[in-house]
Structure 1
Amino acid sequence: MTAGAAVLAAAVGVTATALPAGAESAPPRTDRTVDVQLLSFNDFHGNLEPPQGSSGTVEEIQPDGSKKKIPAGGVEYLAQSLRTARKGHPYSITAAAGDLVGASPLLSGLFHDEPTVEAMNKLGLDVTSVGNHEFDEGRKELTRLQKGGCHPKDGCYEDGKKFRGADFPYLTANVTDEKTGKPLLKPYSVWQRKGVKIGFIGVTLEGTPDVVSADGVKGLKFHDEVETINKYAKVLNKQGVKAIVALIHEGGLPASTSYNYNCDSPGPGDGISGPITDIAKHLTPKVDALVTGHTHQAYTCTIPDPSGRPRTVTSAASFGKLYTDTTLTYDRRTHDIVRTSVKAPGTANHVVNREQPKAADMTSLIARWNKLAAPVANRPVGHISADIAGRGANAPESPLGDVITDAQLEATKAADKGGAELALMNPGGIRSDLAYKASGGEGDGVVTYGEAFTVQPFTNMMNVIDLTGAQLLTALQQQVSGPNAADPKILQVSKGLTYTLDMTKSGADRIVKDSVKLNGAAIDPAKTYRVAMNEFLAGGGDGFPVLKEGKNKYVGASDLDALTAYLTAHSSASGPLDPPKADRITIVK
């Protein structure tokens, strides 16, 4: 294949695999190979209903270079898309790369994500790796999701029905028990049909303890992704399984946010950066394809393995808005994947559009759980005059981030409520927009408890701690340095706190120290400030270790309670809340 043809093929997708040594120029014989369809997705996060606001759209590059937003997602459409894609494929596998649950909207989160596991069973998921959010409620809850049984505190949600657990295996190859050293659940799984064997190894990011509460990962160790996968690839080979797919809950950052962007331009893998690129370059050639996640980005790339051969690396964005269709050409003689061939329709991300028919069984599932959730979910808690962007905001500071931090400050500023002077919020904890007209179709501008829950589903308790001005400045610097240097995590800040972020500089120098002010006064490094934040941040989560140094901790109401109380107090049907200007952080580019 010429270099030009390879680039063109990469724009639409490549197959994963490797011909026997010395046979690279010969096409595989049809009587000894079989095409195996691999359908995959990631980071579903319990979005059974279509995600609201900008969280429920994907961006598509048009032939003229312009970009178009397409509404997408919802399990009724995801199930229909997968079932349609499987037609005509006698060998078809459906796999996922973690975070199927956790940080879920109320319809799933209220019931500890049992509805999502039930939906995954129905749509035919074969295997998944774990993601960091599978540990939000700890190892015991993850084990229950796998094995079944009613919730230890809330019990069974429907009379006469016991939760049966996941029909598919959760793979935890790099998550081990501190005492025994054994994987928490299965490290790998082998899919078999008519002599075809494909092994799946599932891992989550090694840095999971940095992005999950300490209680969620207590008693567990998280190991290096490359070392773990390479170890189990050898184990599978010894069992005669030569075709291997790695399901990795770690991802990359493509140069474009459009799902159909060619990240192999100008050359293989040149259009993508981030942790997955280093992982892909070091994973043993025994692994034939990588299905990834975590960054919520969309890409189908080709990154050469250590031997220099092309290997696909894919991710299907998040919330069930896309699925990836990869063709694995299986050689029955070598029992391996032919990685030198290229097929135009083979590997590509596809939009889960909402113009297709809904899967009737998913409609029934949603209706059943909605009936159970209705008394809680439909309670109005506020009114807004327009969409308030949060998860989908394209700037470091989001309007919804301002609302949330103002709500947290208001909930904790009284002397007997913590005495907070300012509030900080991690951007990853904002899970959705607040949409003026929600997908459920209830009254325009009405914010229900269910919608507020979708924005803040973790129910983290508010903490107020003492930080010196020097520690506060360090926290701001940690947004763009250390673990966050490559992928900045810009904290949302409450009213009164302002500063300049100079993106023309690098690392901690991006924070212009003299610009950091509280209510117009420069931050005094020697002074002590009372700072409100959720318990996850107070524990140093998301790469902010300095916040663990806070003293005189006060524990208040939950972040969700703070948000709903603020919306109720500051809005009404005749006086809805307007989106804030999001002008607290000045950006220099």
Structure 2
Amino acid sequence: MSVTPQRHRTRGRLLIAGVTALAAAASVAAALPAGAHGDDRGHGHGHGQGRTVDVQLLSFNDLHGNLEPPSGSSGTVTEEGNAEPVKAGGVEYLATHLRTARKGNKYSVTAAAGDMIGGSPMLSGLFHDEPTIEALNGLDLDVSSVGNHEFDEGRAELARMQNGGCHPKEGCYEEGKVFEGADFPYLAANVTDEKTGKPILKPYTVWKKGGVKIGFIGVTLEGTPDVVTAEGVKGLKFHDEIETINKYAKELDRQGVKSIVALVHEGGEPASPNYNYNCDSPAAGDGISGPITDIAKGVTSKVDAMVTGHTHEAYVCTIPDPSGKPRLVTSASSFGKVYTDTTLTYDRRTKDIVRTSVESANHVVSRDVGVAGDMHDLIKRWGTLAAPIANRPVGYISGKIDGRGAKTLETPLGDLIADAQLAYAKTLDPGTDLALMNSGGIRGDLAFDASGGEGDGVVTYGEAFTVQPFGNTVNLADLKGSQLITALQQQVSGSNEASPRILQISEGLTYTLDMTKTGAARVVVDSIRLNGQPIDPAATYRVAMNQFLAGGGDGYTELGKGANVLVGGDDLKALEDYLKANSSASAPLAPPKADRITIVK
């Protein structure tokens, strides 16, 4: 049976325009003086009796349209003390876990920290993520901040995700059914129209039930234009996260909303990748680094908790606010593999959160539970529409080709995609010298094992789509050798120094990356060779790259300065054509060795 969510359902709560963030909070009682809240408050334990009431906050982030269980290493999580990965994720299981967690909690609110859509597998991406919005409605999501990937298809398409309506070019996908849009508000407090200066979506909302009021403020990273195509953010301005949150927290406070959660699509890097790592050891926030730490330290103490995302990491930390008080900062990995369950104790007298009583933990979306029937039906319905396209074979491989799941800076799949783009570019201009591919644009692996009835080693269109879902064009541009050197240095310097973004390179280009050094010095310039010859700083090279890189994305500003630009065709078609030309059932393509960059550690 198919599920069509009803619009404007209240589910016993009211969402009022004004805030965005659903918080996550960690246990911080030990960090504050004992007795900070007295027994006279009469703890209500979620039943609305007495001075305080427990509000359950369920949160997740970076779903990226992964409705079906993600495959390979993208679909596993690890636990402290257990080296064996656990298979996790899949909206059928996420729904079951969330619904089970809500049982017995009269006050429960569910929030997300952005990138619910964008970079999605074919089941959702083929239909411009309408299936994911429908699934989120079915999950009873109450609010989400926007993430950078919500802007992949531009402002107008984001508005359609919120308000509904059929796709302007492709129309409605099911006869007699019009896409209804999100039941929940998308919040974009720090994204404004360049001309009017006004937020393009609601900056915040207030969740209300039984006299309890919690405000949510939603922001995405200020650097969104650096990680999205120029067309996707055209006409928009992205503002500082701290200043924006503080501005709207003050506004909420003036309205009498004292309990505030910030939904921030920016994150950190915990010292351990395990979902339940204690990042408060030896002291609060000591086990986490990255942009979210500075943001958390700068956001006003009026905000009681922060739900974050973007880095695809799992953590539950307490980072001191500007007044020195511990404050919960959480993130729930990615792809629906983990969710965070936070207890926020609300004081009816002060209308604020009692931070000494805040508790939080991440939980695995394990696949050892029953599937949610409505989500199963949703996947089946959209899968039936996608099947004629998704199951078409496009190539053959002799083994798994790791991309997103690779643990190395250069990946086999990155090499394959760069080679495919170089081969395609040579059909447009035989003089093309090399191709570059951004690692962040590779969204999965090419699995060897059959996912359906196609057989082992068969690459289907659906699998190729999952790897490259963005619909970028392959562009050509002239770059001086000096510019190419600078671009390689930008991988490991400037905004990319703390977390290097390594370009995947086509066959013939080689160099050494010395990670024992810092910044641009990591690129050993004398080692850069093209087909065995040193790069000539004064020579001109014809370079193929997708439109994102050609626009200077991911901090590669030098790539955006290319001359004689030629806009080519679809990058996924380039990959498909390469697989068809270089593989067959009797002669499958072997995984590239990923040995073009020599890494010194």
Cα distance in 2, alignment partners of residues 61 and 534 from structure 1: 39
Q: How does 1:72-87 map to 2 (within 5 A)?
A: 72-87=88-103
The normalised TM-score by structure 2 is: 0.93
What amino acid is the match of 2:297? K
Indicate if the aligned counterparts of 1:245 and 1:291 stay in contact, CA closer than 8 A: yes
- The Cα shift of 1:227 comes to 0.3
Q: How does 1:49-128 map to 2 (within 5 A)?
A: 49-62=68-81, 66-128=82-144
TM-superposition CA deviations, 1:448-477 (whole Å, max 9, x none): 101100000011000111111100000000
Structure 2 equivalent of residue 36 of structure 1: 55
Q: Tell which deviates more after alignment, 253-262 or 91-100.
A: 253-262
Cα distance in 2, alignment partners of residues 572 and 479 from structure 1: 35
Structure 1 equivalent of residue 20 of structure 2: none
Structure 1 equivalent of residue 291 of structure 2: 275
1:574 is matched with which residue: 558, 579, 586? 586
Structure 1 equivalent of residue 18 of structure 2: none
Structure 2 equivalent of residue 247 of structure 1: 263
1:539 is matched with which residue: 548, 551, 557? 551
Structure 1 equivalent of residue 203 of structure 2: 187
Indicate if the aligned counterparts of 2:276 and 2:315 stay in contact, CA closer than 8 A: yes
- The Cα shift of 1:105 comes to 0.8
1:515 is matched with which residue: 506, 513, 527? 527
1:392 is matched with which residue: 396, 405, 430? 405
What amino acid is the match of 2:507? K
Cα distance in 2, alignment partners of residues 132 and 561 from structure 1: 25
TM-superposition CA deviations, 1:371-425 (whole Å, max 9, x none): 11111111100112222110011111011101110111111124x4363211100
Indicate if the aligned counterparts of 1:418 and 1:554 stay in contact, CA closer than 8 A: no
Closer/same/farther in 2, CA of residues 60 and 13 from structure 1, 3 Å limit: farther
Q: Secondary structure at the residue paired with 1:515? A: strand
- The Cα shift of 1:15 comes to 4.0
Closer/same/farther in 2, CA of residues 22 and 239 from structure 1, 3 Å limit: farther
Structure 2 equivalent of residue 365 of structure 1: 378
1:153 is matched with which residue: 131, 146, 169? 169
- The Cα shift of 1:442 comes to 3.9
Cα distance in 2, alignment partners of residues 532 and 439 from structure 1: 32
Q: How does 1:203-282 map to 2 (within 5 A)?
A: 203-282=219-298
Question: Which runs of 5 or more residues in structure 2 are unaligned?
Answer: 1-23, 44-49
What amino acid is the match of 1:146? Q
CA RMSD of aligned residues (A): 1.8
1:48 is matched with which residue: 46, 67, 81? 67
Identity %: 72
Q: Secondary structure at the residue paired with 1:163? A: coil
Cα distance in 2, alignment partners of residues 166 and 20 from structure 1: 40
Cα distance in 2, alignment partners of residues 161 and 299 from structure 1: 40
Structure 2 equivalent of residue 133 of structure 1: 149
Indicate if the aligned counterparts of 2:25 and 2:330 stay in contact, CA closer than 8 A: no
Question: Which runs of 5 or more residues in structure 1 are unaligned?
Answer: 1-11
Indicate if the aligned counterparts of 1:15 and 1:327 stay in contact, CA closer than 8 A: no
**2:462 aligned with 1:450:** yes
Indicate if the aligned counterparts of 2:32 and 2:356 stay in contact, CA closer than 8 A: no
Structure 1 equivalent of residue 14 of structure 2: none
TM-superposition CA deviations, 1:102-127 (whole Å, max 9, x none): 11111111111000000000011000
TM-superposition CA deviations, 1:134-173 (whole Å, max 9, x none): 0111111100110111111111111110111000000010
Q: How many residues align?
A: 571
Indicate if the aligned counterparts of 1:18 and 1:339 stay in contact, CA closer than 8 A: no
Indicate if the aligned counterparts of 1:498 and 1:517 stay in contact, CA closer than 8 A: yes
Closer/same/farther in 2, CA of residues 87 and 195 from structure 1, 3 Å limit: same
Closer/same/farther in 2, CA of residues 246 and 439 from structure 1, 3 Å limit: farther
Indicate if the aligned counterparts of 2:25 and 2:306 stay in contact, CA closer than 8 A: no
Indicate if the aligned counterparts of 1:16 and 1:337 stay in contact, CA closer than 8 A: no
The normalised TM-score by structure 1 is: 0.94
TM-superposition CA deviations, 1:233-272 (whole Å, max 9, x none): 0111111110100000001011111111111111111111
Closer/same/farther in 2, CA of residues 17 and 96 from structure 1, 3 Å limit: farther
